[in-house]
Chains A and B, each alone.
Chain A
Amino acid sequence: MTANGTAAREGTEPALVRLLSPEGTRVPHDEYSIDLTPEQLRGLYRDMVLTRRFDGEAVSLQRQGEMGLWVSALGQEAAQIGSGRAARDTDYIFPSYREHGVAWCRGVDPLTLMGMFRGVNHGGWDPNTNNFHLYTIVIGPVTLHATGYAMGVAKDGADMAVLSYFGDGGSSQGDVSEALNFAAVNNAPIVFICQNNGWAISTPIEKQTRVPIYQRAAGFGFPGVRVDGNDVLAMMAVTRAALEHARGGNGPFLIEALTYRMAPHATSDDPTRYRFAEEEAEWRLKDPIARLRAYLVNEAWADDAYLAAIEAEADALAKRVRDGLRSMPDPEPTAFFDHVYAEQHPLVDEERAEFTRYLAGFEEGH
């Protein structure tokens, strides 16, 4: 491992923004600060706990055969909730495929996300309902869509900004570099958030890049900041500032959230083949939820009754998700013909008719 490679992973750089220590104490910072009421802090805690719960429930449901696959966001709750809650409803968000916490902030129902992983559709939600675009499985392209959207926002002079998420692995894609450049050249109102969770399946960050990802922004000509991605306060503070920057006509901003993928890449993955349990144990000590809980409890802003109430709410959410997923109906057998084109297309019509006749043949005892 080279010195540069180490820099790409660890938060030892002086530039790391942190407002809440892993032990749950406030840390002052020269540039970034945040002042939240106990109520607001409890809200962030609740968001993180509920996200973790439905995410964990999804893992179990996948194991029980209710979904083909699930990609867990375990460990990344602060990076997602902090940034997601920093956005206004009017801002527009382009996720990658693991942003369940951000989806939660936007009011996208967990069952909607799970439908896609169950295989009833490829996403299917209306991005404009919650200003939350579809998940995109192919890594890279969506950062350009986000950039183009932001270019449109600038043309319209609208008072909003765009948030675009990608991973440490995604940072290697040509499309992502193009997005950073197009955003810069067009002074687009966009905030890129790279969740550097250390791994792209089995590939460690050292094999993706030799410089910390936030430093790339400088090369494209806009600010980049590295944030403790397991610190929900720092994530919220920096994302708020970055969105202000973008909305204010100052162009793009890159946030690198240093976090860790505590779960396997996906339910099909076996991380024991490529990483050590020690590393996971180390990051468990930096858990984003435990950190905020310690802060809330130390300040006497949350007592046992409150924590128990949140747990009960999480249990109820898990049950709702479980029941909902188990009873989620399959689409009609011809559904894949339904939305291929916006306008009528004779080949689709012909094939649908042929397939419908074929299915009817079965009903008649083919």
Chain B
Amino acid sequence: MAARTLTMVKALNESLRKAMEDDPKVLVMGEDVGRLGGVFRVTDGLQKDFGEDRVTDTPLAESGIVGTAIGLALRGYRPVAEIQFDGFVFPAANQIITQLAKMHARSLGKVRLPVVVRMPYGGGIGAIEHHSESPEAYFAHTAGLRVVTPSNAADAYWMLQQSIRSADPVIFLEPKRRYWERADVDVDEMPLPLHQARVARAGTDLTLLAYGPMVRLCLDAAEAAREDGRDLEVVDLRSISPIDFDTIQASVRKTRRLVVVHEAPVFLGPGSEIAARITERCFYHLESPVLRVGGYHSPYPSSRLEEEYLPTIDRVLDTVDRAFAF
């Protein structure tokens, strides 16, 4: 089948549909996922086609959603639980961190929990409080969870397929500001392994490392940097736990400079871990310290200030300048 141009929302929708067709144990559950099709329409039409038994509007309780998803998984189902917005995952934090993440280890490998917890995340859409959070570091900090995030529709389709098939729990973060961007999706093409990073743009002078919503921004920044005569490489991390350090290392050994960009706060964000490990792996190759661009040590601001708070092309280029000034 030829590639088709889909929005990320449509790609996720088709991916869920395919997973439900392939495996009768796959369930979709969450607030307003049924008749409404989710507030972003990711589950549009699924309840109509698969019935309320497989696509369930839950009561309004995130702890209940994840807790019962765990129970369903114990019973042999593969639940795909939707959390309506990033900021509302915290009522489920106890279930995710103390239960979902640890059951496999506690049972000495006897119990597997193939649960996917999907949620839109990140800012840039002018939303009200708690609708623009980037909670990936909390989850990546918890052993037992896999944490992934697509940056485009094709990855969204395939990474969701792979996440649903995973034997481990997966936190699946969807960059909501990219939901309506289109990309060619080939549903027959063999994808990259779920946790492998991808060079999104080859370059020679510096590596911009990003994931989810910031990949597009970094590609645009790399275009802009051409005017300054700089050829930037952009690596799309795709997976935040585990992290594909080999791909990053190969890129950095080539370019000798690394700037990590994410919306999450810089302080103890994924960029911190990446900076530490890459410094260790590439110490003698680096021309500058690993630099980071991200959110500040402040609650996510009200929408009138989010452009100030979030990384922009200008802030990325400013940091690129700093990397070249070392």
| Mutual binders A and B | yes
* A333:B308 contact, CB within 8 angstroms: yes
Range, interface on chain B: 35 or more
CA distance A138 to B87 in the complex (A): 8
* A201:B36 contact, CB within 8 angstroms: yes
A330 within 8 A of partner (CB): yes
B271 within 8 A of partner (CB): no
Residue of A nearest to B41 (CB): A273
Residues of the B chain whose Cβ atoms lie less than 8 Å from the Cβ of A174: 61, 63-64, 91
A120 within 8 A of partner (CB): yes
Partner of B296, one of A122, A209, A355: A355
Residues from 200 to 231 in A contacting B, C-beta threshold 8 Å = 200-203, 207-209
> Would A68 and B308 be within 8 Å (CB), given that A201-B32, A207-B57, A361-B318 are in contact?
no
CA distance A355 to B293 in the complex (A): 11
> Would A347 and B35 be within 8 Å (CB), given that A121-B302, A331-B304 are in contact?
no
Interface flags for B125-140 (1: CB within 8 Å of A; 0: not) read: 0111111000000000
> Would A351 and B296 be within 8 Å (CB), given that A69-B127, A202-B36 are in contact?
yes
B60 within 8 A of partner (CB): yes
* A172:B64 contact, CB within 8 angstroms: yes
Partner of A137, one of B31, B57, B61, B128: B128
* B35:A330 contact, CB within 8 angstroms: no
A342 within 8 A of partner (CB): no
* A202:B60 contact, CB within 8 angstroms: no
* B130:A137 contact, CB within 8 angstroms: yes
Residues of the A chain whose Cβ atoms lie less than 8 Å from the Cβ of B88: 138-139
* A68:B298 contact, CB within 8 angstroms: no
Residues of the B chain whose Cβ atoms lie less than 8 Å from the Cβ of A274: 35-36
* B130:A336 contact, CB within 8 angstroms: no
B230 within 8 A of partner (CB): no
A311 within 8 A of partner (CB): no
> Would A340 and B129 be within 8 Å (CB), given that A138-B87, A174-B61 are in contact?
no
* B302:A122 contact, CB within 8 angstroms: yes
- Whole-angstrom distance from the CB of B107 to the nearest CB of chain A? 25
* Residue from A119, A169, A174, A269 with most neighbouring chain B CB atoms (10 Å): A119
Residue of B nearest to A139 (CB): B60
Between-chain CB contacts (< 8 Å), 13 pairs: A68-B127, A69-B127, A119-B305, A121-B302, A122-B299, A137-B129, A137-B131, A170-B60, A200-B60, A207-B59, A335-B301, A340-B297, A351-B297
A: residues with CB less than 8 A from B are 68-69, 116-122, 137-140, 169-170, 172-175, 200-203, 207-209, 268-269, 273-274, 330-331, 333-337, 340, 345, 347-348, 351, 355, 358, 361-362, 366
B: residues with CB less than 8 A from A are 31-32, 34-37, 39, 57-61, 63-64, 87-88, 90-91, 126-131, 267, 296-299, 301-306, 308-309, 314-315, 318
